[in-house]
Amino acid sequence: MEEQNSQNQTASNQIVALLKDKSTLKQLIYENTFETFSMLKDVLHELINDINEEVVSADRRIKVDYRDRGKFEAEARIAEDILIFSMHSNIFEFSREHFIRQTSYVQKNTRNSYCGIISIYNFLADSFKYNRTSDLGYLIARIFINHEKHFFVEGKRQMNSINDFSTQIVDEQAIRTILEKSIHYSLQFDLLVPPYDEVKIATVEQVNTKIENGKLTTGKRLGFRFESDDILY
């Protein structure tokens, strides 16, 4: 009986230790990520205002605006594009195969690889305007933040200059650089005509839906391999 009690006590101690260690770590990362996301909202709002001042003077038809979508989301409309910025409420660890696990920074301390995530998606503005719920959006970047406020960006090739996880501390200038590169990439990422064979057949429902609301599925690279220009950093 004493041996059983001792084993139970040991198991309980291990559970308590694990909770104190991992839960405290994840809570700190969450706070860092939320602080970063709040900073991102402020910088994004300022950047959109700067762009809008320049654009309105050139052509008032071009729409550029910012919208706070709640605690974990923000939106920027840039002409025909909408960028959605979304913070995940959970904390993640990388798989053993991920390159970040091979870095000396993580190998020295595995706690460094636990991260919060802020994702950046690109959609067409008309997808929201006309409520085309089947339209496609694309993840163009993910920002990872750890307990030391170190960060790195995974995404399109325009992000390769912001990637030293071991030394980079997230700040307003880094956030602005990420936002500028994301907007620039989205504006260059054009809507292409889908291959004829992929759209030559339509159902009655699709045609009726299109007549009502123009809702045939649309995406910037519909019918093409978007992954062909993906590079992970």
- Per-residue pLDDT tens for 180-204? 999 998 888 777 666 777 666 766 6
Number of folded domains that form the chain: 1
Range of the domain at 158: 2-191+224-231
86 pLDDT above the threshold of 50: yes
Q: Taking residues 213-232, what's their average pLDDT?
A: 45
215 pLDDT above the threshold of 60: no
User: Do the domain assignments include residue 215?
Assistant: no
User: Do the domain assignments include residue 175?
Assistant: yes
Minimum mean pLDDT range among 58-62, 192-196, 219-223: 219-223
User: Do the domain assignments include residue 163?
Assistant: yes
Residue (of 85, 105, 108, 107) closest to 151 by Cα position:
105
User: Do the domain assignments include residue 65?
Assistant: yes
User: Do the domain assignments include residue 218?
Assistant: no
Q: What is the pTM of this model?
A: 0.81
Query: For residue 210, what are its two tokens?
Result: 């299109």
Task: Please state whether 131 falls in left (phi above 0), alpha (psi between -120 and 50) or beta.
Answer: left
User: Do the domain assignments include residue 197?
Assistant: no
User: Do the domain assignments include residue 158?
Assistant: yes
Greater confidence (196 vs 165) lies with 165
- Percentage of the chain surpassing pLDDT 70? 77
Q: Taking residues 56-60, what's their average pLDDT?
A: 77
User: Do the domain assignments include residue 199?
Assistant: no
Give Cβ neighbours of residue 88 (< 8 Å, ≥ 6 apart).
72, 116, 117, 118, 119
Cα 216 to Cα 207: distance, rounded to the nearest angstrom? 8
